[in-house]
Structure formats: structure tokens, C-alpha cells
Structure 1
Amino acid sequence: MQNFTDEIEIVSIGTVFLLLITVTPILFVLMHQRQYIRYLRDKEDIKTLYQQELLQSQLEIQNQTLQQIANDLHDNIGQLLTVVIMRLNALEEEVINLDHQQSVQETRDLVRTIITDVRTLSKTLDHDTVSRFGLLSSLTLELERIQRTGHINTQLTTLGEQYILGEQIEIVLLRMTQESLNNALKHAKATNLHVMADFKADSFTLTIADNGRGFSVHEATNRQLDESGAGLSNLHRRAGLLGGTCTIISQPDAGGTRVEIRMPRSQLV
């Protein structure tokens, strides 16, 4: 009986030993795998943080540059154009010929239009405008400036109940909109531009649409940095770093282009 008990103990010890031999490598592999997954997650978090800090630095540099341009437009060019108006007023009094007077008046009206456009442009370049008045007012200024050219119709539509997006996000959204509008003006040959701000309960979507000739999105997004159209990659990158997405819908000669920038509500403010 004693021998039988000893045999059972030996078998039990052997079984436990075999289990340890079998389970230990598995546990080791699982622990190593968890550590590796944690390492990849930490590495991705560091990469995302670095990209966000890089975007922040780029925005600060861009805002400083645009701020300087806005100040120069308002203080220097605006003042020079005002002087031109004064000279034209004086010239109109000296001109006797009615045809020449008409030309002076038309030139003066044109300069006044330029002054208005310069002031509007300086406001849309100034990030303080977004801080003070918000994204929608800044978009309105941008579209009014384009509308005054007389060649393109613009429209801003707002859907849903408005809520705060956050100053930094609004600045980025304005710059992305300006880039999209600039692409439409330069390349699309559009006659209509429509910007729509959709305030949903779970997300905010900003859509920039034109009725231009369209283009190949795949071809444009794969161009080199020094080629025209490479800026589309920046739209995707900026949206991604803000926790959102940017979808570009377009085909050559197929009814224009739509740029949809979507921000989850959880990423706002």
C-alpha cells in the first residue's frame, strides 16, 4: 500500500513537472507578446504625439507668417491704396473732359473694391479673427471675398444646432477650407462653391464642394511633394492628427469635387 501511495506521489509530481515544463514557455510567450504589444502601442502613441507637436509647431509658424502678411496688407498696402484714392479725387477735380472724369471715377471705384478685398483678406489670414468671431464668421468672410470677384457664386449652409469646436480645431479647419477653395479656384474652373457645416450630435462635418471639372484623386495624392496637387496629402494628415478624417470625392469631368472633413464630437474642444 505504501508503495502504491509512493507511486501516486511520484506520478503526481511528474505530472506537475510536465505541466510546468509545458505551461511555462506558453506563459513566457504570452507575457512577451503582451510586452511587445504594449511596446508597439507606446511607440504609436509617441509617434502620434510627435506628429501632433509637429503640427502645432507648423501651425504656429504658419499663423505667425500669415499674421505678418495680414498686418502688411492692412497697414502698408491698405494705406497706399487710400493715398491712391485721395490722388484720384484730386485728379477728378482737375480733369475737364467728361470722358476722362468717367475713367477717373471707374478707376477710383476699382481701387475701393481692392481696398475692401485687401481688408477682408487680411482678416481671413489673421488667426485672431477665428479666435474672436469663430469659424463660421471667418468662412463667411472668405466666401464673400471670392464672391466679389464676380466670376464665382458662393454659398455657406449651416445644419444642426451649433456648438463649440475649439479654437485650435477651428483654425485648422479654416486653413483646410482655404486650401480646398484655393485648389478649386486654381484648377477646377468652377462657377459655384458651396461650404456646408453640419453640427451633428456625435460629429461635426465640414464639406467644401465645387461644380468644376474634377480630377483623379488617386493620381493627385500620389504626386511628389514638389508637384501640384500634393497638398491633398496634407489635408488627410491634418485631419488625422486632429482625430478626424478627410474624404475627397472627385473624378475627371464628373460633376466637380467634394472635400468632407469629419470630426468626432469626442475630439472637439
Structure 2
Amino acid sequence: MEVNTPDIFFVILSGFFLMVVMVGFIVTLVLIHRNRQIQNKQKLESIKADFEKTILNVEKEIQEETLQHVGRELHDNIGQLLSLAKLTLSSPNPEKVHEGKQLINQIIKEVRTLSKSLNLDWVESIDLASFIQKELSKLEQLEFCKVAFTASGESNNLDNSKKLVLIRVIQECLNNAIKHAKPSLISINLSSKSDVTEISISDNGIGFDTSTQKNGSGLHNLKSRMKTIEGEINIISSERNGTQIKLLLPNSNA
């Protein structure tokens, strides 16, 4: 039986063509996969750079606020106590010596309290519930407005750097409510679950049109900060209907 030469040639040519197509397909897949790896690596490096930049900015802001706090305490509190102690001890009345000693002890106590406030290790030791309650207590003591706080679930162990950014975001949200919302009530709900930490900050103030505020630097900074810690921020507001801000931070251990 004769073998048809053209048929053999066609089979060989077809096999070679299929092999070239398969090799090309495999090479294409490899190139696509490598390109995606490069893009993912660049994205991770960009997120890491943004995160480090945000951490530095937050730490700088806290340091500046701490220095301002120290300056006020030295001038308004400790400085006045020292002046009063000086006047008391300069008195010719012997009974004033005991009063002067009490003032000095009070000054020492105030200096120790001030030195503790310079230590940022509080970020590690404090939990979110305690921090939020402390911030709301300040508003209550100033009689700015009524406050409410609720918490549910067990506290998650957040990374210190993420906790620092989250604390700063909460402070900024409260500052915005104080400056712009004119509320009679600010309420915060903290919900800690195994997979996510959710914080809802609500006020019954004047509200605002979110469509006209999307490009505002304040809201942009809040969104950028939450993004660097892989979190989300959702803002619901309308004029005369108050504002609700939800902060969502996935638990990295989930």
C-alpha cells in the first residue's frame, strides 16, 4: 500500500502548526501571569508606601498636638502652681510653709502626669472602647452636646499602627461634627466581630449634601487613611437629617 506523500506532509505540517500554537499559547499565559505578578507587586509597594506615609503623618500630628498640650499645661497649670507656691513660701507666716509643701507635692504630681502623656505607648495599652468613651466624656464635660456609646462583641487585638490610624480617624470624625454639624446628640456604636471591627459615628446635626462634598480634602483624607489600613469608610448624610459615618476594618487574623 502506497503512502501518499502530500498527506504525510500535511500531517507533519499540521502537527508542527499545532505545536507552534500550543507553545505560543503557553508563552502568552506565562507572560500574562508574569505581568499580573509585576502589577500586583507594584500595587502592594504603592499601598505600603501610602501606609507608611499615613503613619508618619499621624505620628507627626499627634506629636504636634502633644507639644501644644505640654505648652498649655506648663503655662496654664504648672506655671500658675509654681507662682502660687513661690508666693506662699515667701510669706512670713509660718503656717504658710505647710501649705507651700502641699502645693509642691501637687506640682510634682502634675509633672508626673504630664510626663506620662508624652509616652505614646498608650496606643498599645488602650482599647478602642476605652478611647471612645474618653473622647465622648470630654464633650459631655464641656456640655457641648449629649453623647451615647454602645459596644458589643469582644475586643479584637489590632495592630498598633492600624489602631493609631483608626483612633486618628475617629478623632477627625468627632472634630468635624463639633465644627460643622451643630448636633444635640453624638452617638457611637462599636461592634467587634471575629472578622471585622465596625464603628458607627452618628449625629443629629444639620447634615450635608454628600454629592457636593466628595472632593473635599477632609473626607478625602479620611478615606485615604482608612484605605491604607485596608479599611472602608461609608458616609450617609443629607441636609437637616444628620450624618452617619461607618468605619469598617477587617480583622487580619480572620
Q: TM-score range by the shorter chain?
A: 0.7 to 0.9
Q: 1:26-105 to 2 correspondence within 5 Å? A: 26-80=25-79, 82=81
Q: Which moved more, 1:180-189 or 1:31-40?
A: 31-40
Aligned-residue offset at 1:135: 2.6
Say if 1:204 and 1:84 are closer, same or farther in 2 by CA, change over 3 A.
farther
Q: 1:208-227 to 2 correspondence within 5 Å? A: 208-223=201-216
Q: Which moved more, 1:210-219 or 1:77-86?
A: 77-86
- Say yes or no: does 1:22 pair with 2:24: no
The counterpart of 1:198, out of the listed 185, 191, 194, is 191
Matches of 2:128 and 2:13, distance apart in 1: 73
TM-score normalised by L of structure 2: 0.78
Q: Which moved more, 1:183-192 or 1:41-50?
A: 41-50
Say if 1:27 and 1:133 are closer, same or farther in 2 by CA, change over 3 A.
closer
- Say yes or no: does 1:253 pair with 2:240: yes
Determine helix, strand or coil for the equivalent of 1:266: coil
The number of residue pairs the alignment matches comes to 229
Matches of 1:178 and 1:236, distance apart in 2: 14
Identical-residue share of aligned pairs (%): 24
RMSD: 2.9
Q: Which moved more, 1:47-56 or 1:164-173?
A: 164-173
Say if 1:221 and 1:126 are closer, same or farther in 2 by CA, change over 3 A.
farther
Q: Which moved more, 1:148-157 or 1:16-25?
A: 16-25
The residue type paired with residue 206 of structure 1 is I
TM-score normalised by L of structure 1: 0.74
Aligned-residue offset at 1:75: 3.0
Contact 1:243 1:267 in 2 (8 A): no
Q: Which contiguous aligned blocks of 4+ residues in structure 1 show a shift greater than 4 angstroms?
A: 5-8, 81-87
The residue type paired with residue 231 of structure 1 is G
- The one-character-per-residue Cα deviations of 1:22-63 (angstroms, maximum 9, x if unpaired) are 334433333332222222212211111111121122123223
Contact 2:151 2:189 in 1 (8 A): yes
Point out where structure 1 has 5 or more consecutive residues left out of the alignment.
Answer: 90-118, 224-229
Q: Which residue of 1 aligns with 2:92?
A: none
Q: 1:121-200 to 2 correspondence within 5 Å? A: 127-200=120-193
Q: Which residue of 2 aligns with 1:265?
A: 251
Determine helix, strand or coil for the equivalent of 1:130: helix
Matches of 1:206 and 1:127, distance apart in 2: 23
Matches of 2:46 and 2:191, distance apart in 1: 31
Say if 1:51 and 1:67 are closer, same or farther in 2 by CA, change over 3 A.
same
Contact 2:54 2:225 in 1 (8 A): yes
Determine helix, strand or coil for the equivalent of 1:155: strand
Say if 1:84 and 1:195 are closer, same or farther in 2 by CA, change over 3 A.
farther
Determine helix, strand or coil for the equivalent of 2:239: coil
Q: Which residue of 2 aligns with 1:108?
A: none
Determine helix, strand or coil for the equivalent of 1:261: strand
Say if 1:260 and 1:267 are closer, same or farther in 2 by CA, change over 3 A.
farther
Determine helix, strand or coil for the equivalent of 2:230: coil
Q: Which residue of 2 aligns with 1:98?
A: none
Q: Which residue of 2 aligns with 1:96?
A: none
Point out where structure 2 has 5 or more consecutive residues left out of the alignment.
Answer: 89-112
